[in-house]
Amino acid sequence: MDPEVHSLTGAYVCHALEPDERAAFERHLAQCPTCAAEVAELQETAALLASAAAETPPARLKAAVDARIAVTRQIPPLVDHGPLRASARPPRRRWFTAAGWGLAAGLAVVVAVLGIRVGDQQNQIDQARQHSTTISQLLSAPDAHSDSASVSTGGTGTVLVSRSRDEAAISVAGLAKLAPGKAYQLWMIGPSGTRSGGVLPATASDSVVAHGLGDARTIGLTVEPAGGSAQPTTTPVMLLPMPA
């Protein structure tokens, strides 16, 4: 462990790091349970600094919030595809579906193409509807950050991530055409393991939306048998760190 990086816990908790430092620190956090525990404790401490600054909110704030939540759909309860925990539930249901940037049409179809078991059919449709707005919401999230990486066999991958929303959209372009029976598969890589992010559709110019990023810090891309694998079986052709 690099003691220099480790000592950034305080600055991290105060949101006092530059974006690149923050991303580097989060990569370190992913591999350092001691740091993660310290960050959690310091966040509780910082919360008391916030509480100490409390002000009596004006009545108009409540009215404005009430008006907005009346028209704001909630993210469904995370029964089957919640954030990854250290106790690691099976990876199959944690996430989910694909869409082009802002592409609404055909979302339910894409879900079906990916063959991801997210629950009953109504749940799938609800999820698909929600994803059409998720990407535009992600794009406007105040803490939205994006990063790109080259794919070693050709093409590029881009991730748009918002930690406050606990969501990311991953987009690929210009990928090399694969032999029949092969497919690109995305992976979410974090300290508690690697889980599938789904097999990309054959025409992989769309985006995949990830909910419940959990502790995932890196997006990986591998070539797998067409149906996808439970865990990566080949060397990643792309490793894309997710910005903070």
Partner 1 sequence: MLGRASSKADTGEEATLESCLHRVALGDREAFDEVYGQLAGPILGVARRVLRDPAQAEEVAQEVLVEIWRTASRFDAARGSARAWALTMAHARAVDRVRSADAATRREARAAELMVEPPFDQVVEAVEARLDRQRVRHCLEGLTELQRQSVTLAYYGGYTYSQVAHLLDTPLGTVKTRLRDGLARLRDCLGVGG
Q: How many CA atoms lie within 13 A of 242 on its CB side?
A: 29
First to last CA, the chain: 20
Q: How far is the CB of 65 from partner 1 (least distance, A)?
A: 5
Work out the number of other CB atoms within 10 angstroms of the CB of residue 41.
Answer: 12
User: What DSSP element (H or E) covers 219?
Assistant: strand 218-225
Q: How far is the CB of 243 from partner 1 (least distance, A)?
A: 13
Q: Quick check: 69 and 75 in contact, CB under 8 A?
A: no
Q: How far is the CB of 129 from partner 1 (least distance, A)?
A: 15
Cβ closer to partner 1: 120 or 143?
143
Indicate the residue among 137 and 153 with the shorter CB distance to partner 1. Answer: 137
What is the DSSP pairing of strand 167-173 with strand 182-190?
Answer: unpaired
Q: What is the DSSP letter of 78?
A: -
In angstroms, give the least distance from the CB of 60 to partner 1. 8
CA distance 132 to 107: 8
For partner 1, the closer of residues 9 and 218 by Cβ is: 9
Shortest Å, Cβ 97 to partner 1: 17
Smallest gap from Cβ 189 to partner 1, in A, equals 19
List of E strands, 100-162: 145-150, 156-162
Closer residue to partner 1, CB minimum distance, 53 or 179: 53
**What element of type H or E holds 75?**
none
Nearer to partner 1, 74 or 203 (CB): 74
**Which residues here bind partner 1, judged by CB under 8 A?**
7-11, 13-18, 38, 40-58, 60-62, 64-65, 68-69, 72-78, 82-83, 85-86, 142-143, 163-166, 212
Q: Residue 16 or residue 226: which is nearer to partner 1 going by CB?
A: 16
Which amino acid is residue 74, in one-letter code? Q
Distance in angstroms (rounded) separating the CA atoms of residues 233 and 229: 7
